[in-house]
């Protein structure tokens, strides 16, 4: 499960450092390359709740194998893509594979460990693997792109996915599927349509000399309509993606909202690091990847500390500390950019971002799955992952899209993006303060 989590997390960020090489190979500009990044996260985040429900209804082992196979096949297609359109399609399929596989994998872990210190440690290890995958995606991307070419950033994961398939088939116990029930496919499609249309509207609005000036307002209006229709569809559906009883758990809802707001800033910081190292500092892919190594090291240390601090401090203090570290990181990015410093000056900001991930996301993840039953384990993990990924993609769309838009000409784009992210982080802090944290987090392990 950890190996699957790692390579899926790697594929969230592995394209960032390779984007200039991909654009040069296919002859597309940065405006179009946005879809290589957000297409994966939006499709994955939008389908995660359906993936969670599929695992609950059809059996987690079966859905785990199906999603993993789709992710591996899409990775192979991305590495062999003959055109940019095929590459974007492969990225969308990778997101779908992730959405099907990961909720089942996380549900298996949640059901294996009872609430309390054991689950806290298990989820911390799970989150640490995901966070390391996100960070090492940058490092691996730079090394592979420089030495082998960008196609290998996708192809390298294929043999490992085959290992996951074989191991899951042997080690994950089979289970009887639940009674067949109708699935909320309409809600799933609307949940994907809303962020995709929103992204299209923001990206096109920021494009210079757009040939379709009517497209941004139409796309944004379509996003609002799709979001409203999703709410209506969920209220009327007999089998909604998110059951109403799930939404009555106030701490869980607030934890997922805070996750989305924190992930928005974290994902934005990754892209800002990449832009600054390659565009402002002139670093190549290999050098940019190596500059990210302190981020990975700090994240590993933070992930080792968090399980103990969760029991000692409680989840709220850990989450607020993570948000505080992220605020300081965004301020440091803006400062380095304003001073025009060299790439290595970003290292302190990278270390603060790693601390923000390690402290903030683990605590929120624990709260988001506390109190789930076997019936809702899949949907709880799906909602949590969806909040993480859709929050991250929305943050990149808004913060980076507005900060780097031609309309902001004359304003430092790094400063504008960081200020927007800090506003979102302030909201995350307010939401976290209102969460009634579970007492199980602070209990010591018996014996």
User: 118-149, pLDDT tens digit by residue?
Assistant: 777 777 777 778 767 776 777 778 888 888 88
Domain range list for the chain: 2-183+239-442, 184-238
Q: Is the pLDDT of residue 293 over 70?
A: yes
Sorted by sequence, the CB contacts under 8 Å of residue 352 that are 6+ apart come out as: 325, 326, 328, 329, 332
pLDDT band at 440 (very low <50, low <70, confident <90, very high): very low
Given this model, what pLDDT does residue 320 score?
A: 92
Average pLDDT of the residues in 362-374: 74
User: Is residue 123 within 8 Å of 362, Cβ to Cβ?
Assistant: yes
- Angle at CA of residue 119, ends 446 and 320, nearest 5°: 105
The continuous run of DSSP H or E covering 28 comes out as none
Given this model, what pLDDT does residue 372 score?
A: 67
User: Token pair for residue 319?
Assistant: 């989450």
Q: How high does pLDDT run on average in the chain? A: 81
Q: What is the pLDDT of residues 317-334, one digit of tens each?
A: 889 999 999 999 999 999
Measured distance CA(72)–CA(55) in Å, rounded:
19
CATH number of the domain located at residue range(s) 2-183+239-442 in this protein: 1.20.1250.20
Given this model, what pLDDT does residue 410 score?
A: 67
Given this model, what pLDDT does residue 348 score?
A: 94
Measured distance CA(34)–CA(394) in Å, rounded:
12
Neighbours of 345 (CB within 10 A): 17
Q: How far apart, in Å, do the first and last CA atoms of the chain sit?
A: 28
Q: Is the pLDDT of residue 353 over 90?
A: yes
Given this model, what pLDDT does residue 425 score?
A: 95
Measured distance CA(391)–CA(308) in Å, rounded:
27
Measured distance CA(353)–CA(270) in Å, rounded:
9
Q: What is the pLDDT of residues 178-232, one digit of tens each?
A: 556 667 778 888 888 888 888 788 777 766 566 667 788 898 899 899 888 888 8
């Amino acid at each position: 499960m950890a190996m699957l989590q790692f390579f899926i997390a790697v594929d969230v960020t592995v394209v960032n450092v390779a984007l200039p090489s991909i654009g040069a190979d296919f002859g597309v500009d940065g405006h179009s390359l946005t879809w290589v990044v957000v297409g994966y996260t939006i499709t994955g985040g939008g389908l995660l709740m359906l993936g969670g429900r599929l695992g609950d209804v059809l059996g987690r082992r079966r859905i785990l194998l199906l999603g993993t196979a789709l992710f591996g096949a899409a990775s192979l297609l991305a590495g062999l893509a003959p055109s940019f359109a095929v590459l974007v399609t492969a990225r969308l399929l990778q997101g779908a594979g992730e959405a099907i596989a990961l909720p089942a994998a996380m549900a298996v872990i949640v059901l294996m460990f009872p609430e309390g210190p054991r689950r806290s440690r298990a989820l911390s290890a799970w989150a640490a693997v995901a966070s390391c995958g996100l960070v090492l995606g940058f490092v691996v991307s730079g090394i592979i792109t420089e030495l082998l070419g960008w196609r290998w950033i996708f192809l390298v994961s294929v043999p490992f996915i085959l290992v996951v398939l074989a191991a899951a088939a042997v080690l994950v116990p089979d289970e009887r599927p639940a009674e067949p029930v109708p699935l909320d496919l309409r809600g799933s499609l609307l949940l994907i349509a809303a962020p995709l249309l929103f992204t299209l509207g923001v990206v096109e609005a920021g494009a210079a000399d757009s040939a379709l000036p009517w497209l941004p307002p139409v796309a944004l209006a379509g996003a609002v309509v799709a979001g409203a229709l999703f709410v209506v569809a969920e209220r009327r559906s007999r089998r909604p993606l998110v059951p109403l009883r799930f939404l009555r758990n106030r701490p869980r809802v607030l934890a997922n909202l805070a996750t989305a707001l924190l992930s928005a800033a974290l994902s934005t910081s990754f892209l800002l690091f990449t832009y600054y190292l390659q565009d402002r500092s002139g670093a190549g892919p290999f050098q940019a990847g190596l500059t990210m190594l302190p981020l990975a090291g700090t994240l590993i240390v933070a992930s080792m500390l968090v399980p103990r601090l969760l029991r000692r401090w409680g989840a709220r203090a850990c989450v607020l500390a993570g948000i505080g570290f992220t605020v300081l990181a965004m301020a440091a990015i803006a400062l380095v950019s304003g001073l025009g410093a060299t790439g290595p000056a970003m290292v302190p900001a990278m270390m603060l971002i790693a601390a923000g991930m390690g402290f903030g996301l683990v605590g929120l993840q624990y709260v988001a799955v506390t109190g789930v039953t076997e019936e809702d384990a899949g949907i709880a993990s799906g909602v949590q992952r969806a909040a993480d990924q859709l929050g991250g993609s929305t943050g990149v769309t808004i913060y980076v899209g507005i900060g780097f838009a031609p309309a902001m000409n004359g304003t430092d784009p790094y400063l504008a993006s960081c200020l927007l992210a800090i506003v979102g982080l302030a909201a995350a802090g307010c939401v976290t303060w209102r969460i009634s944290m579970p007492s199980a987090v602070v209990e010591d392990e018996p014996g």
